[in-house]
């Protein structure tokens, strides 16, 4: 076939000048460059060259260290890549039927320089912890939490007490960044952390807003008080509103403390707050979602500054 190609006027493969052996197809680095709009062989997921490259790079996914947080399924993986969630690898199932979501996910991963690996269905089942991955698994970087001193650098902080929904963490981070907070504070126990779901809900805010994870919220509040911060906790069972707090308090360094939707603030954290305020609303209504309440409270502080 090589002789036929040369008779048709095809250019001599430069890879063969570098010692490519018979049967290799001359697939060296210089021979994989695309010509015009044609993608490189290594960029075409089902091309033998792409499969060889992924096998050389990844080995057997089962033998590699399993990723901690993963996004599985074609829609979630695509949405995560579109949102710029920091990923360490994209895993593709061998012989899975590609569709537009598959192709766009692969393209986004390559554009973001995310390594692309290929494995069997059993391999991806292991990586997805048995979940319905639909042939795509996206591994997410472990989030690096900041120290309390690293986030307490502005004049507005948000502390979350007992928020267990990762989507709420991301949504609150988005509002916190929008209203000028310098950081988010989470407890190390009984709280959601920064996961792929939180990254997506934050719409990129978590790439700009540092998050500290502390051992004890009450102790951290006390440390902040000693450093000149005032704390305001959201609580339904109080008559005080933001309108009752002086401007000089709200314009100074403020820690806004948000409790869970059901239980609210824990007792010790509530007792440690300088102020406890409620959001005025129609009587006999369900409590607000934590992220909605946080957004309203943050706007109330921002508007008074």
Where is the domain boundary, 140, 165, 185? 140
Q: Which two tokens stand for residue 158?
A: 């948000």
For residue 19, being part of any structural domain is answered with no
> Is 35 among the domain residues?
no
* Per-position pLDDT tens, the chain of length 305: 444 444 444 444 444 444 444 444 444 444 444 444 555 555 555 556 655 554 544 444 443 444 568 899 999 899 889 888 889 999 999 989 999 999 999 999 999 999 999 999 999 999 988 889 999 999 998 888 999 999 999 999 999 999 999 999 999 999 999 999 999 999 998 899 998 889 888 988 998 899 999 999 999 999 999 999 999 999 988 999 999 999 999 999 999 999 987 788 999 999 999 999 999 988 777 778 999 999 999 999 999 98
Residues 178 and 298 in one domain: yes
Whether 108 and 170 map to the same domain: the answer is no
Instruction: Give the Cα separation of 194 and 163 in Å (integer).
Output: 12
Is 130 within a domain?
yes
**Tens-digit pLDDT profile for residues 135-156:** 999 999 888 899 999 999 999 9
Question: Are the C-beta atoms of 33 and 42 separated by less than 8 Å?
Answer: no
- Residues 281, 185, single domain; the answer is yes
Domain CATH code at residue 188: 3.40.1280.10
**Per-residue pLDDT reduced to its tens digit, 21-75:** 444 444 444 444 444 455 555 555 555 665 555 454 444 444 344 456 889 999 9
Q: How many CA atoms lie within 13 A of 92 on its CB side?
A: 28
Contact status, residue 292 vs residue 167, Cβ threshold 8 Å: no
Contact 212, 187 (CB under 8 A): no
Domain extent, residue 264, equals 148-303
Do 208 and 297 reside in the same domain of the chain?
yes
Residue 29 lies in a domain: no
Are 298 and 155 found together in one domain?
yes
Angle (deg, nearest 10), helices 290-303 and 166-178: 10
Calpha distance 243→238 (Å, rounded): 13
> Is 186 a domain residue?
yes
Q: Which of 178, 139, 184, 141 is nearest to 163 (CA)?
A: 184
Are residues 105 and 81 part of one domain? yes
Based on the fold, state whether residues 124 and 199 are members of the same structural domain.
no
* C-alpha span between 270 and 145 (Å, rounded): 25
Q: Is residue 26 part of a domain?
A: no
The residue from 124, 140, 156 where one domain ends is 140
Instruction: Look up residue 148 and give its DSSP letter.
Output: H
Closest among 259, 50, 85 to 172, alpha carbons compared: 259
Cα separation, 298 vs 168, whole angstroms: 15
Which domain CATH number covers 82? 3.30.1330.30
DSSP summary character for residue 304 = T
Structural domain total, the chain: 2
Query: 196 and 239: one domain?
Result: yes
How would you class 198 by CB atoms within 10 Å of its CB: exposed for 0-12, middle for 13-18, buried for 19 or more?
buried
Angle at the Cα of 301 (from 298 to 173), degrees rounded to 5? 20
- What the block records as the tokens of 7 is 């008779």
- Dist. CA 256–CA 290, nearest whole Å: 13
Return all residues near 168 (Cβ < 8 A) that are at least 6 apart: 192, 201, 289, 290, 291
End residue of a domain, out of 98, 113, 140: 140
My answer on whether 182 and 299 are in the same domain is yes
Residue 13 belongs to some domain of the structure:
no
Are 163 and 276 contained in the same domain? yes
Query: What sign for the dihedral angle of Cα 133, 138, 144, 148?
Result: negative
């Amino acid at each position: 076939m090589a002789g036929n190609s040369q008779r048709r006027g095809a250019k001599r493969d430069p890879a063969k000048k570098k010692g490519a052996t018979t049967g290799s197809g001359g697939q060296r680095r210089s021979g994989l460059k695309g010509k015009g709009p044609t993608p490189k062989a290594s960029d075409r997921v089902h091309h033998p060259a792409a499969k060889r490259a992924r096998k050389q790079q990844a080995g057997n996914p089962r033998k590699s260290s399993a990723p901690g947080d993963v996004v599985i399924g074609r829609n979630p993986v695509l949405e995560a890549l579109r949102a710029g969630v920091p990923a360490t690898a994209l895993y593709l199932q061998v012989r899975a039927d590609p569709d537009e979501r598959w192709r766009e996910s692969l393209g986004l991963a390559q554009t973001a320089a995310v390594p692309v690996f290929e494995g069997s269905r059993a391999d991806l089942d292991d990586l997805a912890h048995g979940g319905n991955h639909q042939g795509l698994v996206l591994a997410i970087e472990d989030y690096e939490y900041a120290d309390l001193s690293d986030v307490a650098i502005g004049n507005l902080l948000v502390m979350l007490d007992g928020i267990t929904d990762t989507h709420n963490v991301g949504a609150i981070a988005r509002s916190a960044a929008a209203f000028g907070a310098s950081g988010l504070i989470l407890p190390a126990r009984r709280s959601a952390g920064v996961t792929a779901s939180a990254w997506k809900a934050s719409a990129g805010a978590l790439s700009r807003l540092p998050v500290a994870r502390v051992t004890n919220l009450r102790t951290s509040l006390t440390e902040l008080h000693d450093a000149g911060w005032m704390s305001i906790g959201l609580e339904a069972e109080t008559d005080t509103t933001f309108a009752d707090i002086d401007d000089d308090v709200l314009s100074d360094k403020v820690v806004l403390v948000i409790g869970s939707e059901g239980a609210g603030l824990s007792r010790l954290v509530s007792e440690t707050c300088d102020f406890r305020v409620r959001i005025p609303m129609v009587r006999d209504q369900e409590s607000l979602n934590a992220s909605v309440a946080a957004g309203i409270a943050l706007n109330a502080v921002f508007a008074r500054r």
